[in-house]
A and B are shown apart, each in its own frame.
Chain A
């Protein structure tokens, strides 16, 4: 019974640590930027985890929701001076709606087919963003207007620290939602669907409704992350916001390497992958092109062949083996 508190306090300790790190680093410096992005990607991976990990629907097109969020909020900001805080709401609604609509025709598709369909959808959104120049600015990209006097209300800060905490909040919220779903009726239903769709139907689970709900939540969270990214980076274009390799595959990768379906998987995966990429970029700049991506590919193949359930499981197994 006295082990319960430890279990409860460890995530809390982690959270406190995460809150204190930024104060130790140079503001606007390199390290804090990397950590901020790391947290954002972990949050994105956690959103993906909801469908990828709980429902076992491998989506290769999550960038679609990300990009929708980023563009929606920024366009409203530019046209109507709408605060990005409200923009997040709009982004979540739009992305969630899109996720729900997309899941309707793709619901019945299994495995590979579903992956293909989502991949294609991500690419459709990218092509639309590239072509609909009057709204999105086209391939030229779009910038968040720079007003030196804006502040909290417009989600624009000079220092990197507020952004860091925004991303931390995103990660905390998405992780909480994931954990909640995992332990809830919805989670139970999703696991049933994952195990065997037909059996799930037999015991009375409305698999359609289940899948749609999971899709909507996952998409909405991803859209919110898009807004945060837009505000942090203040510039993006269709090729980066809707990127197949840079966003869709990357968040899936982070989740899988860390441990698909686990609570800490996304964070572990992000801590592993993102610094690795930065190391390569920093030390091999110029020649670096290709090496960091190659490392991704090799690691991915390695993990799949060794232990498809990711680093978390690998670690647990290693611990077991040491104990025995």
Chain B
């Protein structure tokens, strides 16, 4: 009896010891923090894996283009020529992982600011972390929620989603010219990006007295869009406004062609304005319109640098991230230190007219109290021979709108 108890207690003790050692190992994490003088750490969180990997890679390329420019041009002048060190991490495609990555980055890498994360849902999650830690977050994501929560540390270089959605419909109607538009269809992926843009589309349709005959959200990972296209055909819409990332944009356009639904397509940016869209669809891509927050043909002098280095036109997410980094660097220079509070102050109070800020609409960038860039305006683009041409509004148009004949 005694022996049994002794064995039992020894085993319990050993169990406990094992837990202890496991915990100790778990608790002493290598927390290496290099503190090199003369470098400024800027965090970059982008989807480098998952469905949005291509967008993440494009964005990173835009950032790298600018960081090399800055570092090779003498670094940050007001900080003694300090170079920018990019700390790049994969946000993956889940918002909670993105938030964890942000937490880890702030705790481990001493970043004074963060750029990211392309997809609104990811950026929203990250912003929850950065706001609580007082670190500025610069982004080109659209969702209205980003600037709608009264946060002080979010800076968005693009227009907000509902404004983009509104322009998507209004510009399309204007381009339709003589033809009266009565019935339209809205299809959108159901995360923050699609939902915000759809809100704008709906409001614009209501204001213009246009009937929305189909208004459907679909799950982001959708693999078969046939039921949606069936509904679309039955609805007799004159124009379809899909808001999608890449995979769904391809599925939708292919299905439309296959089911012989030949109404004009006016996309909602993201999947509709990336080179892969044109590569995958070939001729089917020609003539497709899409709203967008920026375009490379507004300032070829700057954007051709990207084309030379990466062999493709500068996609809008690359452009906008380039603008974000450049504006951030200017703000760091203005605040003369890497303290986040100073950078935030500089970002709120400066009108940026130099460098990459010129590549945005109106040639300038200024953030209001909510973090929105007041000079950003949406643009309507059209695929013409594998290039994206700005066709509306007239003040920005670099090419003529080619009305596609029903084929």
Contacts and interface: CB of A to CB of B under 8 A. Distances in A.
A and B directly contacting (CB within 8 A): yes
Contacts of A306: none
Determine the main DSSP class of B at the interface with A.
Answer: helix
A81 interface: no
A10 B90 contact: no
A235 B95 contact: yes
Interface string B209-232: 000000000011000000000000
B96 A285 contact: no
Given A34-B29, A275-B25, A282 B96 contact: no
A30 B2 contact: no
Interface string A157-178: 0000000000000000000000
B31 A268 contact: no
A100 B354 CA distance: 64
Interface stretch (B68-76, B102-110, B384-392): B102-110
Determine the main DSSP class of A at the interface with B.
Answer: helix
A128 to B, nearest CB: 13
B63 to A, nearest CB: 15
B344 to A, nearest CB: 15
Interface stretch (B6-14, B166-174, B265-273, B334-342): B6-14
A180 to B, nearest CB: 17
Interface stretch (A43-51, A87-95, A135-143, A200-208): A135-143
Closest 7 CB pairs of A and B: A271-B22, A240-B96, A275-B26, A7-B9, A10-B16, A3-B9, A286-B90
A240 B94 contact: yes
Contact of B104 (A21, A235, A282): A282
Interface in B80-112: 88-90, 92, 94-96, 99, 101, 103-104, 107-108
Interface string A276-302: 001000100110110000000000000
Interface string A237-272: 101100000000000000000000000100110011
B124 A141 contact: yes
B407 interface: no
B19 A264 contact: yes
Given A13-B16, A21-B23, A271-B23, A143 B128 contact: yes
Interface stretch (A71-79, A115-123, A190-198, A311-319): A311-319
B26 A274 contact: yes
B2 A235 contact: no
B31 A30 contact: yes
Nearest to A25: B27
B90 A264 contact: no
Contact of B12 (A7, A133, A274): A7
B186 to A, nearest CB: 16
Contact of B124 (A3, A140, A267): A140
B39 interface: no
A140 B161 CA distance: 14
Nearest to B150: A146
B132 interface: yes
Contacts of A6: 9, 12-13
